[in-house]
Structure 1
Amino acid sequence: MRLVRLGAEPTQVGADIRAAISAWGTGCSVLGGVAAFGCRPPGSPRPLDAVIVLPRGVVVVLGLDLPAPALKVDAPLQTPWRVDGWPLVRTEGAVNPGLEGLESAAALARSLQSRGLEPLPVAAIVVVGPYAGQVTQPTTDLHRGVRVVSPNTTSILAAARELATYERPCPVAPAQRLLRVLDENCELGLTELADEGFPVSGAVDLATADTMLIPKYTDHPAAAAARRFAPRDKLIAVAATALVLLCGVIGMWLTLGKPAASPPPRTPPIQRADGVEFAQMVTARDASCAQHSFGDVQRWFEQRPCRSLTRAVFDTQVSGRSAAVSVVIVELPDQGAASELRKLADAAGTGGVTDLIAEGSGWPDGPDGFDDAAQAVQQNGNQVRIVQTVWRHRSSSPDDVGLRALAERGLRLTPQP
């Protein structure tokens, strides 16, 4: 494992994380790859203790500082964590550090995808320190790309091996471009990356390639016979085509004058995030943001126009409960403006962007609106995403844990045209 230090650790447990990863040693005999410490990739909601770039995957590592060593940590993704039986209270950020890890991984994945880099899976490890005797995660959460572990070499190594499972190793050249996304000054040579398990070339290994679908050419007697009968086969094909056309004409003549059948109802596009299905019900794209916003946010847009506004409302179900999700994507001229809007939209009582339901774009049995909604705001470069969630058939609250978790998932939805 090659170590690159880009900045100071954002948490106290970060020093333990660095020591644990350093113990793997250089080269690929243990795991290989490159670990960048103290970096904040584009779009990341918070600084990361480490980003581990492996030949078969990328892992973001977040540290969580506990006030004291813990005997047991219950770490579900849906609800707040419990430390030795007491709720882990958070005054800011996601519902729990696990969701924060998913958010950081998703942000890095989007950043890599937007640059056309190798589609390596991006997962997350949350390291709880200074000590956690036992960490419990629901089985279903383990399939969502997050591991919660103690700050020791064995635990972090095992989690990284479980999460880096891409079908083929990332070659040296894409790995170099990926590292430059983490820090433009992060330069490692071909030899250094090759020593860490990244293949020099992306060529397919023909010794392991499946060639069962590649037919071997032989001039078999049956093939020769087929060529002799080709003219007759062509005549049969022409006759069959003429018959089909004749049947079509007759069918049109028989149905002439009958009313046309109504087209089938449109099936809403479906997206999935963490195993939950979201059906996109309505969508709209606009070039102006001021006329579709209110409060301080509207006044901000009047002084700093946006480039584009994309809005959509999704219908979903979580644990048998119906919910609606409003997704707003604002594209701004630069990252500075996006940072200003993110802070303004995330503050209480500053207004916001009007959802499509409030503008009359509802549907039968849809939500009445997004009053008392839970909200999540995320910046990715010059884009800001604002997600609001409400229950459809029951009262909602901005502090509802289930709605806040749903809003975090909504940050990974992309409205379709």
Structure 2
Amino acid sequence: MRLIRLAPQPATVAEDIRAALASLGHGTGVTGGLALAGVRPPEHSTTLDALVITPRGVLIVIGVDLPDPAMRLEAPLRGQWKSDGWPLVRGGDAVNPATEPLATATRVAARIRSVQGDLTVGTILAVGPFVQAVDQPATDLTGDVRVVHPTATSMLAAVASLATGTNPMSTGQVRALLRALAPGAPEVREHELRAEGFVEAQPPVPAEPTGQPVSTPVAPAGAPPGPTAAPPGPRPVAPSRKPAVRWLPITAIALLLGLLVTAIVLAASGKEPTAEQPPPSNPTPAPHTVDGIDFVTVAATGEPDCAPHATGDVQARLSETGCAGLRRGSFTASVEGGKAAVSIAVLRFAEPERASELRKLSDTPGSGAILDLGTASDRWPQPAPDFAGSAYVSRTEGATLRLVQVSWIGRPSTPDDPTLVRTATTALTVPLPG
């Protein structure tokens, strides 16, 4: 996703919004699309914290500043908001901070649909300065509005759940939206739009001639002969049509000959013809067992650069220092009667000091991470893990840094779960395929 900074954003939480969107990186490796930070559509009095145009839909992002950080925020779209069980109040009155932002989003959505009426449009209300968990009623989650504290993970989840258009947006549609909503935005070149997942606009295909004669005007009864009764020009001649060649008999003959040859060969070999077997399905990869734990590969790949696949402060550091290469792997692990998701990232650097510095940063809670490959490539079978509350371990070997996250599949996880910690420690020695 390409981030384009325009006007300063109005909300205090705007910096978190920008950082979360920037952490998704350029290209379609995670989501693709454009994120315009601080855009004010013409004839609108409100500056949006961000307008996200993805190949599958448009998202309106508006920041909502809370009076204090919260561990748990109850945020119904209609009704009382509560922070850690206490109603939010302003001037002594209970308030719903979503009311005005939703009204703004409704107006902007109407403008978007007036330009491209068939687009999917959603709204993200980004709350801060910090909220550990946001609770939305189940009925609200079926709609097109999400309330999140803007982190790379939450923003990615919101984009995935709201941008659900069937057909990818064309570069021509994107340009039309930019002209209507952000005429002051810098030009994005055609190849840059295609790199973000938008498809090239196709010119209309001219209709093929039908071969039917063209009708000419007929003079009304009693009209005098002359130019008024004559057609305006020479009468078009219908193009000649050659008889269509019918290939069906020839194809049938070739098929019969093939069957005859097959029958002769089978008769000579003494074998009876057997029913055609369906092509074999892809076999499940063989597990790699380490210390009694079976690790089965879900996805694995290598990358020449590290920063596009990182988030938060880790991504910022890698953007400054670079790396010599990145390998990632996602695995399932069968352990103690359950199944866990294992995400491994191996980063190589030119100097051992770089690996140690990044390990120290990565070990700091809230500093960011390397994106899980199975999640980014949508390779996990359902239910897909979200790595919330995952166990985390790291290790350096010279100029190489290995980071491991492990969480349960289909049940809650905690960072200090002994089984998850043991699995993560064991994964430090699991070889990555390729």
Please identify the structure whose Cα radius of gyration is greater: 2
> How high is the TM-score relative to the length of structure 1?
0.46
